[in-house]
Each structure stands twice: as C-alpha cells, then as structure tokens.
Amino acid sequence: MRKKVIAGNWKMNKDIHETAGLINELKERIKDFQNEVDVVLCPPFTSLVVAKSLVQGTPMKLGAQNMSQHDDGAYTGEVSARMLTTIGCEYVILGHSERRQYFKETDDLVNAKVKKALKVMLTPIICVGETLEERESGVTDRIIAAQIKGVLHELSSEEIQKCIIAYEPVWAIGTGKNATPDQANQVHKLIRKLVSQLFSWSLAEKLVIQYGGSMNAQNAADLLSQSDIDGGLIGGASLKSDTFMAIVQAGVEARIP
Ligand code: PGA
C-alpha cells in the first residue's frame, strides 16, 4: 500500500519567527502520530535552516518550494539542489502552477530541475494541472498527458521511483473551490495510466500522487480516501497548526482499510 504524503506549501508566508511559532505548535500535536503518513513542511528558503533545527527528532521532514536547474555559478538569486540537501532538505516542489504562471516555467525547465534534484537525492514533488479554461473546453486529459510526458522526459525507471506527482488543478488553487473527490481521482488514475505506459504498471502502482487545490480540514477525508489519491499538497490550510494537523489526521484515517 502506498504511504500517504501530506506536504505543506507555505508559499511566500512566514518569517523565521512565525516559522518557529508554527513548527513548535505542530511539534506538540505531531507527537500523537507514529509515522503512519509522511509529513513534509515546505517553508520559504529563508526559514529552512531554522525549520531544520526545529523538526529534528520529529517525524516531520523538510522541503523547498523551488530550486535552480544549474549546479552553481553566476545565477543571481538562485539556490541549487546541493545547497538544499546540505541544510537537510529531503524534498523540493517543482513546477508549481504559480512558478509556471508568474515565472514562465515550462515542462522542459521543470524536467531539467527534476533531473538535478534526483542527482542529489532530493525527492521532487512535481506539479501538473489544467486551467479552468482547459477543463471547460474538455482538454484536461490532453494537457495532463503533455505535462506528464514533458516533466518526466528521459527519466529512468530508478528515477521515477523517487518522484512524487502532485495533481493541482489551477482553478482549485487558493480559490476555496476544490476538485470533487471523483474529479480528482479520475485525473489521478489517468496520471497512473500515463506513467504505466511510459514506464511499467508495477512502477505506476507504487507512484505517490498527491492532490492539491483548496484541500482543507473539511474536505480532506473525502479526497484522501479515494483509491488513487495518496496525499495532499496543502497551501492555505498548512499555515495554521489546527487545519494542517486535521488534514494529517485525515491522512492517517484514510490509510486504514
Ligand atoms: P491551496 O494551495 O491549498 O491554498 O489551494 C495549494 C498549492 O498551491 O499547492
């Protein structure tokens, strides 16, 4: 059975003081959980070092929200994969729709970043998802297929095993309007099928596919109990310990057959 992965994408929120406050609250509550789900926090770059020291000895892991496709050099403002691993990051979100929309990231660029992340053993959380316009014009499957092919281009079977895919319909992100459990599960099944065609069914079966887009304490249980939804990438609801831990709890319960 696939273990659920609940990740908090804090986006550009929380300075180091606020980071410490939230992680200290989460630490108190996470004591009740025994690794039934993987919990990953993705604060901004400036909070990662502080966050690392605070999650030490807890089941919580650390991720970044982006990284460069380059190893090092004259790339002002960028952060490399190795810089992330040396401070204790184990995950990195790549190709988030906000990066695609505001910073013009393409599938090719995301693919280059995925390869760099894998080289230093960072687990990439690779985001895909259609816009409202694409959904309404009935091309969701085609868009998702193109994105999956693009971001996974030339990965080996060993490499795909280390990846997580996050299905995040753009129209559901930050809007309070989540995909219905059935809508999301359909796309998750499609992603698994696409991966089975590109690699093999046995690899596709093991692939963790998260859902993201207005997941919250109320809808998490329904979403996470779907056959092909293996976790969540949570934005707004990850910024408060109550709501984030309610989603972690939903992940734990959804796991019980
Ligand atoms: P949201 O964001 O939960 O606030 O919709 C999810 C995401 O962007 O990863």
Task: Establish whether residue 231 lines the binding site of ligand 1, counting it when its CB lies within 6 angstroms of any ligand atom.
Answer: no
C-alpha of 39 from chain center: 11
Closest protein CA for atom 1 of ligand 1: 235
| Angle, in degrees to the nearest 10, between helices 241-255 and 16-30 | 40
Q: Specify the pLDDT at position 222.
A: 97
pLDDT tens for each residue of 75-129: 999 999 999 999 999 999 999 999 999 999 999 999 999 999 999 999 999 999 9
- Whether 28 sits among the annotated catalytic residues: the reply is no
Task: Establish whether residue 215 lines the binding site of ligand 1, counting it when its CB lies within 6 angstroms of any ligand atom.
Answer: yes
Q: How far apart are CA 74 and CA 44, in angstroms?
A: 22
pLDDT tens for each residue of 34-68: 788 999 999 999 999 999 999 999 999 999 999 99
Three-class DSSP category at 39: strand
Average pLDDT, the chain: 96
What lies within 8 Å, CB to CB, of 26 at 6+ separation is 41, 60, 241, 244, 245
Task: Establish whether residue 232 lines the binding site of ligand 1, counting it when its CB lies within 6 angstroms of any ligand atom.
Answer: no
Q: How far, in Å, is the centroid of ligand 1 from the Cα of 174?
A: 5
pLDDT tens for each residue of 143-183: 999 999 999 999 999 999 999 999 999 999 999 999 999 99
Task: Establish whether residue 169 lines the binding site of ligand 1, counting it when its CB lies within 6 angstroms of any ligand atom.
Answer: no
Task: Establish whether residue 235 lines the binding site of ligand 1, counting it when its CB lies within 6 angstroms of any ligand atom.
Answer: yes
Instruction: Summarize the confidence of residues 241-247 as an average pLDDT.
Output: 97
Closest protein CA for atom 6 of ligand 1: 235
- Whether 98 sits among the annotated catalytic residues: the reply is no
Torsion angle in degrees (nearest 10) through CA of 74, 99, 45, 34: -140
Ligand 1 atom having least distance to the Cα of 127: 9
Catalytic residue among 98, 130, 134, 168: 168
Q: How far apart are CA 114 and CA 241, in angstroms?
A: 30
Catalytic residue among 18, 96, 188, 205: 96
Which tokens belong to 183?
A: 């809508």
What lies within 8 Å, CB to CB, of 222 at 6+ separation is 181
**Helix (H) / strand (E) containing 140:** helix 140-151
Confidence check: pLDDT of 33 > 90? no
Confidence check: pLDDT of 252 > 60? yes
The model's confidence at residue 193, banded by pLDDT at 50, 70 and 90, is: very high
Number of helices (H), then strands (E), belonging to the chain: the values are: 12, 8
What CATH fold (topology level) applies to the domain 5-254?
A: TIM Barrel (3.20.20)
Task: Establish whether residue 236 lines the binding site of ligand 1, counting it when its CB lies within 6 angstroms of any ligand atom.
Answer: yes
